[in-house]
Amino acid sequence: MITSENYDILIIGSGGAGLSLALQLADHGIQIAVLSKFALTAGSTYYAQGGISAVFDAEDSIESHIEDTLDAGAGLCNPEIVRLTVTHGKESIDWLRKQGVVFTEEQTKSGDKKLHLNREGGHSHRRIVHTDDATGKAVSLSLIDRAQEHPSIDLFEHHNVVELITSASLGKYYKNGDKRILGAYVLDTKKQMVKTFSARVVVLATGGASKVYLYSTNPQSATGDGIALAWRSGCRISNMEFMQFHPTCLYHPNAQSFLISEAVRGEGGKLILADGSSFMQHFDPRAELAPRDIVARAIDHEIKKRGIDCVYLDISHKSDAFIKKHFPTIHQQCLKFGIDITKQPIPVVPAAHYTCGGVLTDSYARTDIANLYAIGEVASTGLHGANRMASNSLLECLVFANRACEDILKNLASITAPPILPQWDESQVSDSDEEVVVSHNWNELRHFMWDYVGIVRSNKRLSRAMNRIELLKKEITEYYSHFRVTSDLLELRNLVIVAELIIRCAQQRTESRGLHYTLDYPEADNSHQPKNTILSP
């Protein structure tokens, strides 16, 4: 049976970043493979509700968008990267429209139509381009349709990467001496066989790592695979302590962590307690429109202080027509759980939402390994700093897909094809007879990460978590060495690495800044220039 695939470009991930890059490269006579761990729509892009930030309003400006992003990032954004990203906002939206994405419009006084712009936390103006409250779904489906039609793009669903193949990892098979990417070993989860994909260029577009926590707004696929793959291959990782918790996740036993978009607060939604009293004004003058880290900590404070299960987000003071027009998906989803948001408040809690750190890249999405790129949530570009501002994430996907495309096209002709790569060897392993080990360790990991490395941390909590990480790593390494790989095992192996990276970064930051808040150092250290946390393998 043939288990080898050869391509010019291998893109790992089928979300907004990966498919945008594939489509931009595809018209240049390049053969491209796009891998999706599950279905093509299983990534975070598909579930993104809010929208994409870009300057379209005459009263808004590039400088204002830059200032808001820098403010949210709490001193750790790279100003050059922020400017680069923000200045490409409008052209990114225009490109998506050419791909068939239909954004919500409104009628002007003169009878013309223009893009309707939402406002979200941290933004000083309306600048969120959206498709009702299901922007990610519209973007994802349009890009998938275009990719499926293109003869230069092959889409592989249910393909989970086991390991990257580099010149260093091949050892005796590769004597060239340079440190470069050559491909990847990939588990076809339908056929339960490991394939060898060789490529001149490999791109990580695998998304974030929020499933390392017990409660998350992310889909099941967000297990930090690209971060762990890059780390094991020798790439530096940066700022993993900055895990963003979305303030408003629907609190219901059957809701499966359904996100309540930030746009609800942007359109006047109020955070209240069970008695109807508001509380955000006690934490920040911007109240509900404060950045996510402030709002999430405020909600966490109220829940712990009062011993309650949740707080409430109330938009019912708006008309029924307004709510159904602006938030049709949220309205319909909440109705399934017996909550009519036109008449009653929505019970909400914070949940892990976005990975602000990741694989360290430059302004062209290049990593430490030649011909290996990282784009989207998996990357640490310098845009988000210590806290991502709402709706800057999809913008980053689009801009850095374009940057990676530009660099790849410039250099591809000079990149030689990889040598014949050895097949995956599983001759020394057997089928597992103890799958319970995987499920038990998965649950234990996510529970102690939530309890000890969540919204509020301390030195003692981080130390406890690290002790448990060391035990889990030993068990998982032993298990991985003896049994055939499964998708669950690969995710667990990656998650324990991500968890360790988060803890190590958090232990190094002896201050509270942005999304990292510790009881031992409750204030930001402004006596020195703020620095990124960078870990080297």
Q: What digits encode the pLDDT tens for the residues 380-425?
A: 999 999 999 989 999 999 999 999 999 999 999 999 999 899 999 8
Mean pLDDT (the chain) is: 94
Tokens at residue 457, please? 């941390």
The predicted structure's pLDDT at residue 172: 60
Amino acid at site 334? C
Fold of the CATH domain 243-353: Flavocytochrome C3; Chain A, domain 1 (3.90.700)
Q: Provide mean pLDDT across the span 313-318.
A: 97
Q: Token pair 């808001």 is at which residue?
A: 68
pLDDT band at 281 (very low <50, low <70, confident <90, very high): very high
pLDDT at 1 over 60: no
Residue partners of 499: CB distance under 8 A and separation at least 6? 212, 445, 449, 453, 465, 469
Contact 159, 486 (CB under 8 A): no
Specify the pLDDT at position 435: 75
User: Which of the residue ranges 33-47, 228-242, 246-260, 309-323 would you say has the lowest mean pLDDT?
Assistant: 246-260
pLDDT of the residue at 121: 83
Taking residues 54-71, what's their average pLDDT? 96
Identify the residue with better confidence: 432 or 503. Answer: 503
Residues in Cβ contact with 435 at an 8 Å cutoff, skipping those fewer than 6 apart: 488
**What is the pLDDT, as a whole number, of residue 173?**
60
Q: Which residue has the higher pLDDT, 222 or 3?
A: 222
* Catalytically active residues, by annotation: 292
The 3-state DSSP class for residue 51 equals coil
Q: How confident is the model at residue 174 (pLDDT cuts 50, 70, 90)?
A: low
Q: Is 261 helix (H, G, I), strand (E, B) or coil?
A: coil
Confidence band of 292 (pLDDT split at 50, 70, 90): confident
- How many Å apart are CA 303 and CA 273, to the nearest integer? 9
Domain 4-241+356-414, CATH number (from 3.30.70.2860, 3.50.50.60, 1.10.260.40, 2.60.120.920): 3.50.50.60
Distances (CA, A) of 475 to 85, 224, 441, 498: 42, 19, 9, 16
pLDDT for residue 279: 97
Percent of the chain, pLDDT > 70? 98
Domain ranges of the chain: 4-241+356-414, 243-353
Could you give the angle at the alpha carbon of 74 between the alpha carbons of 218 and 513, nearest 5°? 75
Q: For residue 434, is pLDDT > 80?
A: no
Distances (CA, A) of 535 to 195, 305, 358, 371, 503: 31, 35, 10, 21, 11
CB neighbourhood size of 532 (10 A): 17
Q: 186-227: per-residue pLDDT in tens? A: 999 999 999 999 999 999 999 999 999 988 999 989 999 999
- Residue 2 confidence (pLDDT) above 60: no
Please report the pLDDT score of residue 514 as a whole number: 94
pLDDT band (50, 70, 90) for residue 479: confident
- For 337-341, what is the mean pLDDT? 97
